[in-house]
Amino acid sequence: MSETRHDWTTAEIMAIYNKPLMELLYEAATIHREHHDPNTVQVSTLLSIKTGGCPEDCGYCPQAARYHTDIETNDLMKVSHVKAQALRAKASGSSRVCMGAAWRNVKDGPEFDQVLEMVRTINKLDMEVCCTLGMLTENQAKRLAEAGLYAYNHNLDTSEDYYKDVISTRAFEDRLQTIDNVRKSNVTVCSGGIIGMGERLEDRAGMLVALTSLNPQPESVPINALVAVEGTPMAEIEPVAIWDMIRMVATTRIVLPETQVRLSAGRTEMSREGQAMCFFAGANSIFAGDKLLTTPNPDVNEDMEMFKLLGLNPQKPFVKVAQPTTTEAADSELVPLGEKPKWTRPGHTIARNETAKQDAKLTE
């Protein structure tokens, strides 16, 4: 059984990333099956509740006010509109709604109160609620938790070394502080990054070092491929190769065995075959819907067709995917004799039931 480690080094992770592809995939898929149901994928819908006008200078983001992009800016959505979108997402198979606002940081006041009401509203729909609102304080995190927030997204984006080449208006340490503030509440953490921004392989590994060093580690790690947008500093960067995404997903799965690895931005450039390899390598969460905040995304009907083709099932809300690893928990999973077992960790529960059947025969 693979163990959770918090002491990975950049060199170790680079060695994993650079393994022969078939070997890398086999190792990642094996670890994935030790901790997760390989045929279940968590589906989230990302909703931009406040678009554009952000004072930050993230080089990849078309919502920065200083860049000349074609996005349409919008003020904060009404709660009724958010509820309608959430109901539509639920009907399409999503178990989580993630609301994003183009803010540098959360400010107490009427707008934050409105976001809290959105969280309460979606929570009543029996859906997980996630927010990505920029930096927030410990008190704001606790208020979100009290409203029913399930997860907070705050990506590290890249390694600490490369971070300053991507963003100058917010420090890497600021991001870690926000994650720490979230951890002081009962809200789960969603934090990952983007590849294809001109970073070195060492930076991809460095980002994973930072994520694995967190204790506890994030419950969800989005792996995004840069979607180059005209008007941003990264507009001319070529799309990252699918093989890089597959390697990044597989490596993330190996070093973060219990985390949900989210196949995020950039899926419009991926074939179904490429996405299938990412799922095989350990991705078990996606964003659905035709737009991720401001960038394109596959239509939800296309995703459901792909799920059907691959035999994948959408995960229900509030389900912890990681399987029990203790002997006591494993014993509680034993399937009664004569019943067909549900999915279990290979070589564990089923094997134990086979042993029980053999023992029963010996006593007949």
Residues annotated as catalytic (active site), given as ranges: 54, 58, 61, 98, 130, 190, 262
User: What number of CA atoms fall less than 13 Å from residue 82's CA on the CB side?
Assistant: 32
Q: Are 282 and 253 in contact (CB under 8 A)?
A: yes
Q: Which residues are 131's β-sheet partners? A: 99, 152
Q: Are 130 and 44 in contact (CB under 8 A)?
A: yes
Determine the 3-state secondary structure of 108 from DSSP.
Answer: coil
Q: Are 97 and 122 in contact (CB under 8 A)?
A: yes
Return d(Cα 313, Cα 230) in angstroms, integer: 36
Return all residues near 67 (Cβ < 8 A) that are at least 6 apart.
61, 231, 232, 233
Phi first, then psi, for residue 160 (nearest 5°) are -65, -35
Return d(Cα 148, Cα 14) in angstroms, integer: 39
Phi-psi sector, 3: left (phi>0), alpha (psi -120 to 50), beta: beta
Terminal alpha carbon distance of the chain: 35
Number of H helices, E strands in the chain: 13, 12
Query: Can you spell out the DSSP letters for 105-118?
Result: B--TTHHHHHHHHH
Phi-psi sector, 338: left (phi>0), alpha (psi -120 to 50), beta: left
Return d(Cα 54, Cα 65) in angstroms, integer: 5
CA distances from 324 to 144, 257, 329, 331, 349 (A): 29, 13, 6, 10, 11
Identify the residue whose tokens are 């930096």. 135
